[in-house]
Amino acid sequence: MASPEFLDPRLTERRNPRTIAIDTASSLEIVDLLNAEDATVAGAVRGTREAIAQAIDLVVDAFRTGGRLVYVGAGTSGRLGVLDAAECPPTFGTPPGMVVGVVAGGYAALVRSMEGAEDDVNAGAAAMDDQHVTARDVVVGIAASGTTPFVRAALSRAQTLGAKTGLVTCAEPPKVLAETCDVLMVVRVGPEALTGSTRLKAGTATKLVLNTLTTGAMLRLGKAYGNLMVDLVAMSEKLHDRGERIVMEVCGVDRALARSAIDAAGGSVKLAIVMAKRGVDRDQAAQLLAAAGGLVRGVIGDPPPIRG
């Protein structure tokens, strides 16, 4: 028997039988219902682990040849892409143009809803031209339902320009994207607690995937030493403190010496560590790191054990 006409084929638009009475629930019951749904998200992300790893490899290859990672999405999906891109420079010391976020409706859509912008296919295609996408880049579309016209058009244009493309979605993607994207990251989180509200489980899943994608790529590029963020850019008191504590722990020096080493390294925690551990100047430290592919471990060996 055919499905009723009102049923949406997209999984993200289906009704959730576990939350059918959520409108009558107490505050605590609502918290429990939402939390129970959220608890399933990490497992759903794990289900697409191989595709995420494939995407990481594509992004690493792009970065190593001077290319970029360009996120493109609408609504919550677009905002999450812009957020992840914005967090890369302070976390990994990357230039702002290395990871780029494009949201339908432009930056005004970051602070207020512009839902109609997701249907503008011309704008989606034009956004790739505006970003000067080339064959060196990787463009990752983010579309919870898999069908956002802005994203579809952007990916199509990116493919025409020779870029590698990927899609992060929580529903089965259209055939054209399934057949043309280099990698599909389909996170099947199931129906939302509030029908169609993809800022819930789908949004959480998307954030986890994007976290993994950029963190994985940056780790592969040597942006960490063990699990220490040695390429961070100290743009706040918190990050200044973190950088000094990293040098103190790795090099076994006090805070004053750590601060002095970072100053001598021009603010680079990574260079400061190599300078202190190898007894070399800034230029020599840079040469040693370059020879080791940017990996601190390749210059000074394994990081110290965790103490305290």
28-49 pLDDT per residue, tens: 999 999 999 999 999 999 999 9
Q: pTM of this prediction? A: 0.92
42-220 architecture in CATH?
3-Layer(aba) Sandwich (3.40)
pLDDT at residue 1, as a whole number: 47
pLDDT at 148 (0 to 100): 93
Cβ neighbours for 36, distance < 8 A, ≥ 6 positions apart: 18
Instruction: Name the active-site residue from 13, 29, 50, 87.
Output: 87
Tokens (6 digits) for 171: 């529903």
Splitting the chain (308 residues) into consecutive groups of 10 residues, what average pLDDT does each group show? 63 91 97 98 98 98 98 95 96 95 92 83 96 98 93 97 98 92 97 94 98 97 94 82 95 94 92 94 96 94 89
Q: What is the pLDDT of residue 3?
A: 61
Candidate list 118, 172, 179, 237, residue with the active-site label: 118
Measured CA to CA, the distance from residue 206 to residue 27 in angstroms comes to 26
Beta bridge partners of 102: 72
Tell me, yes or no, if 115 is annotated catalytic: no
And the tokens for 283?
């230029």
The residues of the chain that CATH labels 1.10.8.1080 are: 237-300
Among candidate residues 149, 147, 193, 187, the one with its CA nearest the CA of residue 168: 187
User: Is 118 among the residues known to form the active site?
Assistant: yes
CATH 3.40.50.10490 segments of the chain:
42-220
What does the H/E/C string look like for 196-256?
Answer: CCCCCHHHHHHHHHHHHHHHHHHHHCCCCECCECCCCCCCCHHHHHHHHHHHHHHHCCCHH
What's the CATH code, domain 237-300? 1.10.8.1080
Measured CA to CA, the distance from residue 198 to residue 76 in angstroms comes to 8
Q: CB–CB of 230/249 below 8 Å? A: no
What pLDDT is recorded for position 114? 75
pLDDT at 235: 73
